[in-house]
């Protein structure tokens, strides 16, 4: 039964089947290759495939006893095209690296393979992850499986679209300005931005930076927790990384421990929100009361989040992208150029002010979580928009000045170093997915996953079943 409906099974079910011997890693790869051939021509989520490499890794893994095959036991995993995989074309969505084939994998990839993950594809991303709409000059645009005229968001858009359409059971993504949460919202899947340090990865810019993190994506909360178990752990080459917890994140998610009190805000007091998105997320948040959870409408003071986020994001671009701006300006898209130049031009006094304000904002968030277990709000302020639009320029009568303004609702969790998850919570009148952002206290990843599992059960959207691309 598992084999006949393999791509429609959950990741947890597939891993259980791998451990029992009901299905092999090679059969999983065969099922994915067929599914990709059927649907990816309409979505463009996985532009680089490496099935020959994957099958070699799968055969080597199958030589080990089942108990030594790691958390994933041979489950295939696609890697976002911002992260290097040894011997596999890794473009970063940029013409600068269009033909780059790294000789060494990122720490994250090495860990996943050590935990029984089998890498079979690279998922599409915007150029260097900039802009929450997945298109680039190397591979073109990734579209939304729920409506192929619409954006899959980004920057982990290829991963989200692959999950939603059954071309992956779990997927790797990354997040600074909502790059796990926005595509999860647009594609009706689960995306978790973990607490900084939860997942070790190779550092290419700021050694102690905590704005950008790597994290898991899946169609269900349990599957997302499973992948986090495989990703989590410390590494000496990532000094911010944390040891793996004693208890698994999957066990925490499956425990379904109810929060006592949660808060909901349609806008966090800082951004316009599409009325339909506000209505859908509010209705979903109040469904928590069906499980006996107290729901109150409130939020902490986040009034300075915009200025802090703009300054520190630009500062991170100056650190990470200034060399490419100097040497390859003609090959960079305008949004990357603007953000990098902004970072290089802003005075140190401005950066110092933003860092101090960030610390104060994080303290206010920590105080807020003394009373509330989870803060709920929209994951993205608009439903999926036409893929041909570079970014959202207006919402609910408010015009945006920059390409990142429409992403402000994800900034507080990033700035406060909090775990944040996008949970599918409903659909627009046009049948497009909407995600509810669930923010937990810093380092409270396990409690957040457990709470998300409770609400996922209450909502009952059955997102474990992938969709066929729709036009």
Q: How high is the pLDDT of residue 1?
A: 44
Cis peptide before 155 (omega within 30 of 0): yes
Compute the Cα dihedral for 46, 51, 52, 54 and give only its sign. positive
The CA-atom distances, in angstroms, between 150 and each of 145, 155, 250, 433, 470 are 8, 15, 32, 11, 10
Query: Tokens 């002010």 appear where?
Result: 353
Distance CA(284)–CA(376), nearest Å, equals: 10
Q: Where are the alpha helices (DSSP H) in 296-345?
A: 305-328, 334-345
Beta strands in 335-408 (DSSP E): 374-378, 394-395, 398-399
Distance CA(157)–CA(437), nearest Å, equals: 17
Tens digit of pLDDT per residue, the chain (471 long)?
466 689 999 999 999 999 999 999 999 999 999 999 999 999 999 999 999 999 999 999 999 999 999 999 999 999 999 999 999 999 999 999 999 999 999 999 999 999 999 999 999 999 999 999 999 999 999 999 999 999 999 999 999 999 999 999 999 999 999 999 999 999 999 999 999 999 999 998 888 899 999 999 999 999 999 999 999 999 999 999 999 999 999 999 999 999 999 999 999 999 999 999 999 999 999 999 999 999 999 999 999 999 999 999 999 999 999 999 999 999 999 999 999 999 999 999 999 999 999 999 999 999 999 999 999 999 999 999 999 999 999 999 999 999 999 999 999 999 999 999 999 999 999 999 999 999 999 999 999 999 999 999 999 999 999 999 998
Q: Which residues pair with 143 in a beta bridge?
A: 151
> Using the 8-state DSSP alphabet, how is residue 71 labeled?
T
DSSP states along 176-204: SSSTTHHHHHHHTSEEEEPPTTSB----S
Beta strands in 379-440 (DSSP E): 394-395, 398-399, 420-427, 433-439
> Using the 8-state DSSP alphabet, how is residue 256 labeled?
T
Neighbours of 317 (CB within 10 A): 25
Q: How high is the pLDDT of residue 378?
A: 99
Helix axes 157-164, 25-43, angle to 10 degrees: 110
Q: Which domains does the chain have, with CATH numbers?
A: 6-307+335-459 (3.90.1300.10)
**In this structure, are residues 305 and 361 in contact, taking their beta carbons and an 8 Å threshold?**
yes
**In this structure, are residues 362 and 354 in contact, taking their beta carbons and an 8 Å threshold?**
no
Residues tagged active-site: 80, 155, 179
Neighbours of 154 (CB within 10 A): 31
Distance CA(388)–CA(149), nearest Å, equals: 8
């Amino acid at each position: 039964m598992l084999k006949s409906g393999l791509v429609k099974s959950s990741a947890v079910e597939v891993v259980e089947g791998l451990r029992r011997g009901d299905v092999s890693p090679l059969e999983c790869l065969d099922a994915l290759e067929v599914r990709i051939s059927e649907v990816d021509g309409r979505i463009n989520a996985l532009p680089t495939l490496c099935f020959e490499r994957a099958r070699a890794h799968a055969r080597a893994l199958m030589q080990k006893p089942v108990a030594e095959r790691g958390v994933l036991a041979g489950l295939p995993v696609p890697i976002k095209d911002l992260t290097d995989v040894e011997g596999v074309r890794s473009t970063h969505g940029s013409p600068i690296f269009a033909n780059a084939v790294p000789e060494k994998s990122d720490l994250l990839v090495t860990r996943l393979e050590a935990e029984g993950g089998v890498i079979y594809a690279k998922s599409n991303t915007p150029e260097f992850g900039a802009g929450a709409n997945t298109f680039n000059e190397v591979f073109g645009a990734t579209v939304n499986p729920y409506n192929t005229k619409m954006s899959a968001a980004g920057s982990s858009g290829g991963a989200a679209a692959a999950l939603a359409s059954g071309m992956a059971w779990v997927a790797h993504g990354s997040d600074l300005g909502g790059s796990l949460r926005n595509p999860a919202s647009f594609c009706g899947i689960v995306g978790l931005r973990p607490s900084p340090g939860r997942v070790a990865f190779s550092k290419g810019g700021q050694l102690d930076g905590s704005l950008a993190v790597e994290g898991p994506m899946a169609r269900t909360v349990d599957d997302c927790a499973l992948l986090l178990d495989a990703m989590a752990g410390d590494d000496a080459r990532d000094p911010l990384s944390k040891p793996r917890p004693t208890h698994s994140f999957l066990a925490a998610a499956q425990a379904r421990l109810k929060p006592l009190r949660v808060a909901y805000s349609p806008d966090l007091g800082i951004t316009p929100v599409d009325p339909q998105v506000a209505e859908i997320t509010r209705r979903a948040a109040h469904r928590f009361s069906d499980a006996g959870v107290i729901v109150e409408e409130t939020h902490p003071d986040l009034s300075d989040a915009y200025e802090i986020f703009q300054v520190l994001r630009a500062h991170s671009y100056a650190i990470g992208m200034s060399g490419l701006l100097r040497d390859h300006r003609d090959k960079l898209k305008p949004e990357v150029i603007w953000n990098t130049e902004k970072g290089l031009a802003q005075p140190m006094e401005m950066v110092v002010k933003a860092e101090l304000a960030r610390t104060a904002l994080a303290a206010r968030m920590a105080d807020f979580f003394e009373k509330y277990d989870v803060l709920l709000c929209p994951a993205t302020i608009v439903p999926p928009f036409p893929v041909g639009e570079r970014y959202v320029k207006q919402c609910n009568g408010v015009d945006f000045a920059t390409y990142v303004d429409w992403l402000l609702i994800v900034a507080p969790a990033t700035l406060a170093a909090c775990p944040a998850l996008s949970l599918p919570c409903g659909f627009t009148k046009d049948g497009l997915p909407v995600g509810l952002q669930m923010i937990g206290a810093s380092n409270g990843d396990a409690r957040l996953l457990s709470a998300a599992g409770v609400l996922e059960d209450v909502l009952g959207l059955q997102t474990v079943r992938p969709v066929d691309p729709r036009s």
